[in-house]
Amino acid sequence: MSYRKSDRPHVCATPDCGCGLTRRDFLRLSALTSAAVAAPFLRAGDALAQSARGDDVPVKIGYLPITDATPLLIAHARKLFEAEGLSTEKPRLFRSWAQIVEAFVAGQVNVIHLLSPSTLWVRYGTKFPAKVVAWNHINGSGATVAKHIDKVTDLGGKNFAIPFWYSIHNILLQQILRANGLTPVSRARGGNIAPNEVNLVVQPPAEMVSALAGGAIAGYIVAEPFNAAAEVNGVGKILRFSGDVWKDHACCVTFLAERDIAQRPEWAQRVTSAIVKAQLWARDNQLETAKELSSTGAERYTPHPVETLAKVFSTADYARYEASGVVHNKGWHQRRITFQPYPFPSYTEELVRLLRETHVEGDNAFLRELDPAFAARDLVDDRFVRKAIADLGGPAVFDLPADFARKEVIVV
């Protein structure tokens, strides 16, 4: 597998670009890397922690309306936090990753799901002390293309959308492109794109389907249900599933502030236990999960119809892609999305290695100094998830190895 250094950085110029990173968001979040600017946010969060150190602190969820948020939302919908003795506030929907990170740093929300590469940036790039306590799901993303695109090489000379620079989507897309002789680049709007280049543009998932339908982009790679939405609406087709490239990879993870873990470990345990129970329930209740998250569900957590979400959670739908050849690694026996909460150290180590060779926006100097093995130990706190899994019957209930160890498998 070969890698190239990143091309010229690009900042998305689209205002309020959903799950993307606008110039305004980039400048605002980049400011968090400055100790002088970060201090007020840290003090604000610490003040909240000081005012309520006990386990009676309400669970304040921050989320984006994608299936990655399923465990947090199902735990809320089924009152699993309350079953653990916790109170909750209504989950707060955010339009962008920038907004959710800012609210988390300021202490406005205290339980979030976040793109796994972004957790590295938050902890080591902005220096905000937070930890991964569990994975939210495995797989759950895909590359969707226009109907006239039949193979990866057809993307040469075209625009392709990603949701965020620090995302598994960006990492895996660049692996796929390079393996097929294409170079990922960042060109200004209207810039020339060579036949062997693919221009990456940051775009909100909510706009990707319409952009594809209108011909502004040749495709996109993103979390569900936006791949399913393109299929249901007849405007695109799946080129590749992310889980068919990196077997059973994490995408979003549960992220808690280190102050909450240190000052309220029992609270952190109860939060994690509720989320793990939600994952186990979602594994076996696919249609009910789709209904809970849909625009017609009791809480209307997302704007997506049941039909689209049911396609994502279906245990039978994936076989069609295996039969058609969309899925390359048929022996992996996967689902489009499923749930297992344990954060494998081997994944974090490989994530650091791959992110170093991936074109990302802004100053990524922290990656050059970040040791993969250190990150796996320092970024992740698996005490709570291990106990939560044990309380439910042990690793086997999630089809996990008894020793919580695995080897990462990536086949581009």
pLDDT of 4 above 50? no
Residue 310 CB contacts under 8 Å (≥ 6 apart), including other chains: 286, 287, 290
**pLDDT tens for residues 73-113?**
999 999 999 999 999 999 999 988 888 999 999 999 999 99
Residues 283 and 385 grouped into a single domain: yes
Determine the structural domain holding residue 209 and report its residue range: 141-247
Q: Residue 334 domain-assigned?
A: yes
Query: Is the domain of 187 the same as that of 224?
Result: yes
pLDDT band (50, 70, 90) for residue 54: low
Mean pLDDT of 387-391: 98
| Domain identity same for 68 and 176 | no
Residues 175, 98 within the same domain: no
Question: pLDDT tens digits for 127-182?
Answer: 999 999 999 999 999 999 999 999 999 999 999 999 999 999 999 999 999 999 99
**C-alpha atoms less than 13 angstroms from C-alpha of 157 in its C-beta half-sphere:** 4
Q: Is the dihedral of CA 80, 84, 90, 95 positive or negative?
A: negative
Residues 122 and 261 in one domain: yes
Q: Is 387 a domain residue?
A: yes
Phi, psi torsion values for 150, nearest 5 degrees: -110, -20
Alpha helices in 285-370 (DSSP H): 286-293, 306-313, 318-324, 345-356, 365-369
Tokens 């948020």 label which residue?
69
pLDDT tens readout for residues 192-204: 999 999 999 998 8
Residue 34 forms part of a structural domain: no
Residue 15, pLDDT > 60, answer no
Looking at residue 23, what is its pLDDT? 46
Same domain (yes/no): 205, 68: no
- Domain end (from 194, 222, 247): 247
| Region 380-409 average pLDDT | 98
Same-domain pairing of 189 and 287: no
CATH number, position 387: 3.40.190.10
Number of domains in the chain: 2
| Model confidence at 21: pLDDT above 60 | no
* 87 and 148 share one domain: no
Taking only the tens place, the pLDDT of each residue in 240-290 is: 999 999 999 999 999 999 999 999 999 999 999 999 999 999 999 999 999
Q: Is the pLDDT of residue 296 over 80?
A: yes
Quote the pLDDT of residue 97: 83
Is 50 exceeded by the pLDDT of residue 372?
yes
- Across the range 233-238, mean pLDDT stands at 97
- What single string gives the DSSP state of each residue in 171-204? HHHHHHHHHTT-EEE---TT----TTEEEEEE--
Mean per-residue pLDDT of the chain: 89
403: in domain: yes
Q: Are residues 129 and 237 in the same domain?
A: no
Residues 333 and 289 in one domain: yes
On whether both 289 and 350 belong to a single domain, the answer is: yes
